[in-house]
Amino acid sequence: MVPWWLLAIAVFGANFALWGMIGLLRLLDGWRTRRSTVVGLDRFDRALGVDDVAVLIPAHNEEAVIADSLAAITALVPPENVHVVSDGSTDRTVELARDCGVQVISTARNVGKAGALKEAIRRFDLVERFPVVMLLDADTHVQPGYFAAALPLFDDPEVVAVAGCVRTNWRGRGLGPIGKLVALHRQRIYTMTQYLLKFGQTWRRTNATHIVPGFASMYRTEVLPRIEVNPPGLVIEDFNMTFEVYQKRLGKVGFTPSAVAATQDPGCLKDYVKQCKRWALGLWQTVRLHPPRANLFTAMLALLLLEMLTSSLLLVVLPIVVAVLLLAELLPALPHVPVFGEVHEFVSGFATPSALLFGVLVPDLLLTCVVALLHRQPRYLLVSLLFLPLRVLDAGIALYAIPAAWLTKSSGRWRSPARAPS
């Protein structure tokens, strides 16, 4: 019989416990040292400001959101620093971007996000003109405090990339009940992974995170020539760019929860599934591309993937286990029926209703309570019982992506999901 606490660890992960504890150490270290924001600078250097940042936005048919996103970023960065590359757009993306007073180019055809980024970095000559480039999705609104929080992380000369803190932007989009549920589920995931994983993974003493998300990330331009932005066969670029930073020993990744940018997550279940498939496939394709090495990053990644595999398997079979145990409780004669009786005997040999209650449901509800408290939004509690079925869906998608990463190749070309003006 599997004890409830072991089931909780298997489903929710030792990663959260490990990196959560390291995150606490990071907090204590920060309080103890009270470091100046100019640590790592010598008398010949200066702190970076927004004038030093080139913003690069790849866009493919983003006319619904591009103007609002550009208005948000040009309120923080000089318009001449903002660069848009339209990747084969057939709508008014280019026209609207030019009307905003930013620099705009177009690719000759749809080459995919990574291909557009690579071409734009070269054509805009960003490596020579700017010390830092921000890669920004066309639907993302950078919040006012982003640069004040993120740029000081580059004062540490070892930091070559900074990950933004993502927040889902769902208000004012006219989402239906399913769309709002998906948005809350995605924000719950963001909160847990950023506070319980990424914050600890990006501590200067133990620096190893599996992704610098491409929605709003910054890189020192001096490392870009050493990063293969667009290797063939990958559906997305941000996992690969992060792997390149660590596997080529280019430096460290910085992260602070204060550097916030809001992005549009899918507004319906169909688009959500498509995006999750794309992300999961991109992760495993990148794992396939980069062989393991003897370093902390590989160890962190191995633990993450092992736990992802085991928790996904457990979550996928969870509905079957619950159905078998529930039917046996409701119909006492059913365990004596051939076939079902054998299945029930097998299932009840390692799982009980109480183990599932305290090992799966209660921890999931507690996580929801923590997220609701952090965001001061009781609405999370109203749909708390619906998050677990969505986690089962996520688990199925994660398992689907594993063989797909080895059996299929991706062109990297993209099609933007349905957007709504923010």
Domain ranges for the chain, please list them. Answer: 1-27+48-422
Give yes or no for a contact between 422 and 264, defined as CB atoms under 8 angstroms apart: yes
Q: Record the pTM.
A: 0.91
DSSP annotation string for 344-357:
HHHHHTT--HHHHI
* pLDDT for position 40: 41
Q: What is the C-alpha separation between 155 and 152, in angstroms, rounded?
A: 5
1-27+48-422: CATH number:
3.90.550.10
* pLDDT for position 174: 79
* pLDDT for position 416: 62
Task: From 360, 362, 422, select the one nearest 2 (Cα to Cα).
Answer: 360
* pLDDT for position 37: 40
Looking at the chain, the number of H-run helices and the number of E-run strands are 17, 10
* pLDDT for position 39: 42
Whole-number Cα distances in Å, 235 to 50, 111, 113: 31, 11, 9
The dihedral formed by the CA atoms of 255, 257, 258 and 261, expressed in degrees to the nearest 10: 90
Angle between helices 14-33 and 4-12 (to 10 degrees): 70
* pLDDT for position 90: 92
* pLDDT for position 36: 44
Ordered mean pLDDT values, 10 residues apiece, the chain (422 residues):
74 86 93 54 66 97 95 97 96 96 94 95 97 97 96 96 93 84 95 95 96 96 97 93 97 97 91 94 96 95 94 94 93 92 91 90 94 93 96 97 90 67 60
Q: What is the C-alpha separation between 88 and 108, in angstroms, rounded?
A: 7
* pLDDT for position 45: 57
